[in-house]
């Protein structure tokens, strides 16, 4: 009897062992099966939740986070359905402050010595404008370096900001309009113009400041020392025939892509000219009279503050030089020389700049 009982117990142990193994196996398959079902329900549900791109709250959209004050979307580099949770395969996409170097949307193409620096310094006060500080001379001198070289010279901008560059020699250099058009046929072009006689004297004054043994302005501007024949081969004189150069540009760009800015008004009423520029560039009128003050020592409008300086300051020493006294008769003769070209320029631009 005792032996029989022992046998029964032995059989029961074996059965118990098989039963336990069987139960564990069952539990394992049951768990795996249910996990698959729950996971596919979860995925199906996620696919049908409408995505709101403007919803940046991390509680409602776990893919969006705020990092260093910027809204950042975390994007998996792998297919979402095959995401390997243990692998570190994410990249950060900054959806708000994406700052990259772009080609210019706006060019200040000239005219040399007409107030191009003042225009650039004034308009770049606008938070939606970023400008290259130096003259890049890409389209006239460095075109062979290629567009990528040019883009790298531009300041980084965020989406919605305008990129701007100024090189005054673009206006008078043959071949530049075609090159600019090839880069961007829709580019906006700003041209500051000033009475061509004063502009020529300003040009001469700059050259004289570098080379003190230069001939007098009157000697350079006329052939044979008399005021009969204007020397149109003298660069400072030639540049003032604005109509000739504008004609070249108009072969590539319609008039509506230009804004003509009066160099004289940029001095007498800078806010008014800058309003025109802001309107033309579809910018909010952020730069106002409040940004300027008239510095009577310098004789020019100066800035109360700028991007780089929070204290009042004027343009540098090379802007607003004292011009030499020029013979009145020479000035009169030059005014006569430029008059027909000025008239033509007024007709082309539909603006009377009021030069004598």
Residue 117 binds to ligand PPS (criterion: CB under 6 A): yes
Active site residue 113: yes
Residue 167 binds to ligand PPS (criterion: CB under 6 A): no
Residue 266 binds to ligand PPS (criterion: CB under 6 A): yes
Under 8 Å CB-to-CB from 209, ≥6 apart: which residues? 318, 321
Q: Which of 113, 212, 215, 290 is flagged as catalytic? A: 113
Select the residue interacting with ligand PPS from 115, 177, 196, 240 (CB under 6 A). Answer: 115
Residues 47-66, mask of contacts with ligand PPS (x by CB under 6 A): --------------------
Q: Output the six-digit token pair for 165.
A: 């560059």
Cα gap 349→49, rounded to integer Å:
56
| Beta-bridge partner residues of 157 | 100
- CB crowding 287-325: b at 16 or more within 10 Å, else e: beeebbeebeeeebbbbeebeeeeeeebbeeebbeeeee
- Residues annotated within a binding site for 3'-phosphoadenylyl sulfate: 113-117, 194, 202, 319-323
| Beta-bridge partner residues of 304 | none
Contacts to ligand PPS from residues 93-112, by CB under 6 A: 112
Q: Output the six-digit token pair for 281.
A: 């560039």
The phi and psi torsions of 95 (rounded to 5 degrees) equal -85, -15
Sort strands 70-76 and 64-67 into parallel, antiparallel or unpaired: antiparallel
Nearer to ligand PPS, 202 or 342 (CB): 202
Contacts to ligand PPS from residues 306-325, by CB under 6 A: 314-315, 319-321
Residue 239 binds to ligand PPS (criterion: CB under 6 A): no
Cα gap 65→71, rounded to integer Å:
6
Nearer to ligand PPS, 72 or 190 (CB): 190
Nearer to ligand PPS, 122 or 337 (CB): 122
Cα gap 349→243, rounded to integer Å:
9
Nearer to ligand PPS, 250 or 271 (CB): 271
Residue 196 binds to ligand PPS (criterion: CB under 6 A): no
Catalytic residue list? 113
The residues that touch ligand PPS, with contacts defined as CB under 6 A, are: 112-118, 168, 202, 205, 266-267, 300-301, 314-315, 319-321
């Amino acid at each position: 009897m005792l032996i029989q009982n022992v046998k029964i117990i032995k059989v029961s142990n074996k059965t118990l062992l098989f039963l336990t193994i069987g139960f564990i196996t069952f539990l394992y398959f049951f768990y795996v099966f249910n996990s698959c079902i729950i996971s596919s329900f979860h995925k199906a549900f996620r696919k049908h939740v409408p995505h709101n791109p403007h919803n940046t709250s991390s509680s409602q959209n776990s893919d969006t986070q705020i990092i260093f004050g910027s809204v950042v979307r975390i994007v998996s580099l792998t297919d979402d359905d095959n995401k390997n949770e243990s692998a570190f395969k994410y990249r950060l996409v900054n959806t708000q402050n994406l700052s990259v170097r772009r080609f210019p949307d706006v060019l200040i193409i000239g005219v040399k010595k007409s107030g191009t620096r003042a225009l650039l310094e004034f308009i770049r006060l606008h938070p939606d404008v970023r400008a290259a500080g130096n003259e890049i001379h890409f389209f006239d001198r460095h075109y062979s370096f290629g567009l990528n070289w040019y883009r790298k010279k531009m300041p980084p901008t965020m989406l919605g900001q305008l990129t701007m560059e100024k090189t005054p020699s673009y206006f008078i250099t043959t071949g530049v309009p075609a090159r600019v058009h090839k880069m961007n046929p829709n580019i906006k072009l700003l041209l500051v113009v000033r009475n061509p006689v004063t502009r020529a004297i300003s040009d001469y004054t700059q050259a004289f400041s570098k080379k003190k043994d230069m001939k007098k302005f009157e000697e350079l501007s006329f052939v044979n020392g008399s005021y009969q024949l204007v020397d149109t081969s003298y660069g400072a004189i030639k540049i003032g025939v604005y109509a000739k150069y504008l004609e070249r540009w108009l072969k590539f760009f319609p008039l509506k892509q230009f804004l003509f800015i009066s160099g004289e008004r940029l001095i007498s009423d800078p806010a008014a000219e800058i309003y025109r520029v802001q309107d033309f560039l579809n910018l909010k009128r952020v730069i106002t009279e409040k940004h300027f003050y008239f510095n009577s020592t310098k004789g020019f409008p100066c800035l109360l503050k700028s991007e780089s300086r929070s204290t009042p300051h004027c343009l540098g020493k090379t802007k607003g030089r004292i011009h030499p006294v020029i013979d009145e008769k020479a000035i009169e003769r030059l005014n006569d020389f430029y008059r027909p070209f000025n008239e033509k320029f007024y007709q082309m631009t539909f603006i009377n700049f009021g030069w004598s």
